[in-house]
Amino acid sequence: MIYNEEYETMPRQALEALQLKRLQKQIARVYATVPYYAGKMDEAGVTPADIKTLADIQKLPFTTKEDLRKNYPFGLFTVPMEEVVRIHASSGTTGQPTVVGYTKKDIKMWAELMARSLNAAGAHAKDTIHNAYGYGLFTGGLGAHYGAEELGATVVPISGGNSKRQIMLMKDFKSTVLLCTPSYALNLAETMVDMGVDPKDLALKVGVFGAEPWSENMREEIQAKLGIKAIDIYGLSEIIGPGVAVECIEEQKGLHIMEDHFLAEIVDPDTFAPLALGEKGELVFTTLTKEAFPVIRYRTKDFSRIITTPCSCGRSFYKMEKVTGRSDDMMIIRGVNVFPSQIEHVLMSIEGVEPHYLIIVDRKGNLDTLEVQVEVSEAIFSDEIKQLENLTKRIQTEIKDLLGVSCKATLVEPKTIQRSEGKAQRVIDKRKI
């Protein structure tokens, strides 16, 4: 079942004609209402009249998070504040928070996008959706909530935290769909073990997980421990929140981009030159229909590629490959680019290693050091020293083979590494402290 067949199965030629029409209207509107955007376009020597094809988007300047911060809080809004019905903002943990606004029409559109996303993940009106994304300024909770209501499902707006209560309510309410970060899903699975709750005693059938990069090995871990299908959803607050792209339950291979509302590009992260379909690079998004806070060619810093292969689910939207890392997350260790997801991939493939780890980067003299602390099962931790040494060496060897960087592996007891109710902290870089 497809939520909106008119758009989700639209023939490619008709879809691209719709995208161009909406792009031209959006660029003209932004140029007329946002002095900052108008100034950047004038500086680049481009006007709205120059956008005659979709390829002409390459004439427009990029938007970065720094642009958003320069115009904090409302400098990039295109409507007066009396038309803004909601404001969300990033946490600002790496700088000044980025602020986004929504009109009534934006909220309605966002609700439909999330309803589409949940439907693609296998959710329906008869489902009970346990929403453990955080409510508040973070876009995840309310974005998912409105989408679930639009779908006609029953929503349990529990937000994050108090894992034992979450599990009790999932069991009592017979929740069928779980929404949270992938790291929190594993936290819930661990708490079920502590409580003596068998996942088979719950009615859960599918989970929709996002807000942080996660590997295929972590997907397999979640599916095995919770007995559900684990679906990836993509979004970011600067674009709209969750609902920009989602996997379908039929294939779980790539995320369908909601192309009637978002125009996606892939560019070289170093030269910013456009890359061909299928090539891997940095994702760039332009919002085609947002009213209060449209963004033009926003550099997400997420690495992916566009997949054009037809999908068995019947949706005609192109897919984006599952995001495995962000340039923000990338660490440069002795000249080598290292992503936490690469280390996670190694760890999750080794039997006895738990899905909880912490990467510590430091510098001794002029040399970068890399330590990976990882939990192992109680049975493994109580093994003979020789067996623990063998496991340590295996982790170090496999990370070195994959990344070309030596590391120190430290095995720690279960529940040693701090758990997260939202996005997990995977890296401590002491070089920046």
Tell me whether strands 353-364 and 336-338 are parallel, antiparallel or unpaired. unpaired
Query: Which pair of tokens denotes residue 317?
Result: 């939207």
Query: Which pair of tokens denotes residue 220?
Result: 């397999």
SS3 305: coil
Asked if pLDDT for residue 353 goes beyond 80, the answer is: yes
Give percent of the chain with pLDDT exceeding 90: 73
Q: What integer best gives the mean pLDDT of the chain?
A: 92
Q: What is the mean pLDDT of residues 231-246?
A: 96
Asked if pLDDT for residue 37 goes beyond 70, the answer is: yes
C-alpha 287/C-alpha 291 separation (Å) is 9
Phi (first) and psi of residue 120, to 5 degrees: -60, -30
Q: What is the mean pLDDT of residues 36-43?
A: 98
Query: Which pair of tokens denotes residue 329?
Result: 């997350």
Burial (CB count <10 Å: 0-12, 13-18, 19+), residue 241? buried
Asked if pLDDT for residue 109 goes beyond 80, the answer is: yes
Token pair 């009106």 is found at 125
CA distances from 139 to 64, 100, 104, 212, 377 (A): 19, 10, 16, 13, 35
Question: What confidence score (pLDDT) does residue 273 get?
Answer: 96
Query: Which pair of tokens denotes residue 66?
Result: 């720094």
Query: Which pair of tokens denotes residue 200?
Result: 């088979």
Class at the top of the CATH hierarchy for domain 1-327: alpha beta
428 vs 144, more confident: 144
Question: What confidence score (pLDDT) does residue 380 get?
Answer: 80
Please report which confidence band the pLDDT of residue 92 belongs to, taking 50, 70 and 90 as the band edges.
low
pLDDT digits 0-9 by tens, 271-292: 999 999 999 999 999 999 999 9
114 vs 136, more confident: 114
421 vs 68, more confident: 68
Pick the closest to residue 225 from 241, 210, 238, 209 (CA basis): 209
C-alpha 89/C-alpha 111 separation (Å) is 18
Q: What is the mean pLDDT of residues 62-76?
A: 95
174: CB partners within 8 A, 6+ apart = 128, 202, 203
Token pair 């070089």 is found at 431
| DSSP 8-state assignment for residue 414 | T
Question: What confidence score (pLDDT) does residue 365 get?
Answer: 72
Q: Are 180 and 134 spatial neighbours (Cβ–Cβ below 8 Å)?
A: no
Domain 331-432 in CATH 3.10.180.10: no
C-alpha 192/C-alpha 172 separation (Å) is 14
Asked if pLDDT for residue 94 goes beyond 50, the answer is: no
Tell me whether strands 262-267 and 281-287 are parallel, antiparallel or unpaired. antiparallel
Burial (CB count <10 Å: 0-12, 13-18, 19+), residue 139? buried
How is the chain split into domains, by residue range?
1-327, 331-432
- Helix 340-348 to helix 385-403 angle (10° resolution) is 140
Q: Are 168 and 192 spatial neighbours (Cβ–Cβ below 8 Å)?
A: no
> CA-based angle 354:138:299, to the nearest 5?
90
339 vs 155, more confident: 155
Pick the closest to residue 61 from 97, 22, 27, 18 (CA basis): 27
Query: What is the rounded end-to-end Cα distance, in angstroms, of the chain?
Result: 51
